[in-house]
């Protein structure tokens, strides 16, 4: 099952667009008891003339970098993104050229690419949370919101949706849970739902529970996907 191919940028993770809150997060193997720490996660913002770089890092517990996810904005418009998977020597890239975008994937030096029409509803890693905040009123009123996610490793774009989940084990006082599903009936057999827990008062992401493309080793072999629980902390 190649479910990783439809979630390449889903959980590499979520932040504010022009004024991202700085966070630190811990990534655990899902439902592990005792908790098994897999990664340490944090972000940074680098500003330059008329633009900025939003970077998300995933570090192994020994502080070596496993994944770097970067989006570059110019005049608050998307310019390009890249996701570097250092453990397995893979890179996914999206570059915008006006009304077009080029998607490129590199695997151990082997390249492939494709060109698509630019779609403003395509979401990319560190811009995902901005999408949630822009649709906050719709989502908190129970409406379903559609969007698209790229999968550079197979040069495809997939349709997803997200909606409040009232009957979820992560629901508790002061929190709201959003359930993300793939829209395609066929792909639902391959891609399991993911759950995002937000604080209602601050609109900040508190935790994520589901399948990611973060790599982990099992029996000395890198896995294409890892089920995780991610917990966030903020500086203020």
For residue range 84-117, list pLDDT tens digits in order.
Answer: 999 999 999 999 999 999 999 999 999 999 999 9
pLDDT value at 4 more than 70: no
Mean pLDDT, the chain, as a whole number?
88
Predicted TM-score (pTM) above 0.85? yes
Cis peptide upstream of residue 34 (ω within 30 degrees of 0): yes
Nearest CA among 213, 189, 180 for reference residue 227: 213
pLDDT value at residue 15: 36
Q: What mean pLDDT is predicted for residues 63-83?
A: 94
Which of 56, 50, 47, 48 shows the shortest CA–CA distance to 9? 56
In this structure, are residues 38 and 28 in contact, taking their beta carbons and an 8 Å threshold? yes
Number of domains composing the chain: 1
Q: Is residue 2 scored above 50 in pLDDT?
A: no
State the average pLDDT over residues 219-230.
Answer: 90
Residue 174's pLDDT band (cuts 50, 70, 90): very high
Average pLDDT over residues 113-123: 91
**pLDDT tens profile 193-222:** 899 999 999 999 999 999 888 988 888 888
Query: Between the ranges 135-144, 177-186, 209-218, where is the mean pLDDT highest?
Result: 135-144
Question: For the ranges 125-129, 173-177, 198-202, which has the lowest average pLDDT?
Answer: 125-129
* pLDDT for position 122: 87
Question: For residue 134, what are the CA distances in angstroms to 15, 60, 144, 210?
Answer: 12, 32, 14, 23
Q: What is the pLDDT of residue 1?
A: 45
Q: Is the pLDDT of residue 16 over 60?
A: no
Share of the chain above pLDDT 90, in %: 63
Largest CA distance in the chain: 50
pLDDT band at 12, cuts 50/70/90? very low
Residue 193 structural domain: 3-234
Range 179-186 average pLDDT: 82
Least confident range from 5-9, 12-16, 21-25: namely 12-16
Residue 176's beta-bridge partner residues? 198
């Amino acid at each position: 099952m190649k479910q990783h191919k439809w979630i390449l940028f889903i959980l590499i993770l979520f932040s504010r667009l022009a004024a991202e809150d700085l966070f630190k997060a811990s990534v655990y193997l899902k439902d592990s008891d005792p908790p098994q720490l897999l990664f340490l996660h944090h972000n940074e913002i680098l500003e330059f003339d008329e633009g900025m770089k939003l970077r998300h890092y995933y570090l192994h517990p020994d502080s070596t970098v496993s994944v770097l996810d970067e989006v570059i904005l110019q005049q608050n418009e998307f310019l390009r993104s890249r996701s570097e998977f250092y453990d397995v020597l893979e890179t996914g890239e999206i570059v915008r050229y006006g009304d077009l975008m080029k998607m490129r994937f590199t695997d151990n030096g082997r390249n492939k690419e494709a060109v698509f029409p630019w779609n403003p509803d395509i979401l990319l890693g560190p811009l995902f949370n901005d999408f949630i905040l822009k649709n906050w009123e719709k989502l908190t009123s129970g409406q379903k919101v559609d969007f698209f996610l790229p999968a550079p490793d197979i040069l495809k774009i997939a349709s997803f949706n997200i909606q409040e989940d009232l009957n979820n084990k992560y629901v508790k006082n002061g929190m709201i849970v959003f359930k993300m599903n793939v829209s395609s009936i066929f792909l639902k057999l391959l891609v399991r739902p993911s759950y995002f827990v937000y604080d209602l008062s601050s609109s900040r992401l508190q935790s994520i529970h589901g399948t990611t493309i973060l790599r982990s080793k099992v029996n000395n072999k890198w896995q294409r996907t890892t089920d995780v629980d991610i917990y966030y902390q903020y500086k203020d």
